[in-house]
Amino acid sequence: MIFDFPGCCNLNKFRDSIEDYLDFCEERKEKPDKPFSGKFVVRISPAIHHQIFLKAVQSGKSLNRWITEILTNHISSNQPDPPEGGQAVK
């Protein structure tokens, strides 16, 4: 859910919108959406961690920037997802 109130924030409209949304979710017996923080933990082997670190360094990017670009390119390319169980980095 995104709130866009041009000009000065109208807190009453904001509160009403939140209440309407929560009522809507309750009627549908659904949990309200929560915003994503943009952070998540990935557990990988130290060897893979080292390999992707080296790839990032070789490309002149931070590890975070390199992984973000790889993931963004993958979801934008419509490539099939790896098979169940994941895919090893070579």
Count of helix runs (H) and strand runs (E) in the chain: 3, 0
Task: Assess whether pLDDT exceeds 80 at residue 81.
Answer: no
pLDDT in tens, 28-80: 999 988 888 899 999 999 999 999 999 999 999 999 999 999 999 999 988 77
pLDDT, residue 4, reads: 60
Task: Assess whether pLDDT exceeds 80 at residue 11.
Answer: no
Contact 78, 68 (CB under 8 A): no
Q: Please count the residues of the chain.
A: 90
Task: Assess whether pLDDT exceeds 60 at residue 7.
Answer: no
Q: Which one has a higher pLDDT value, 3 or 70?
A: 70
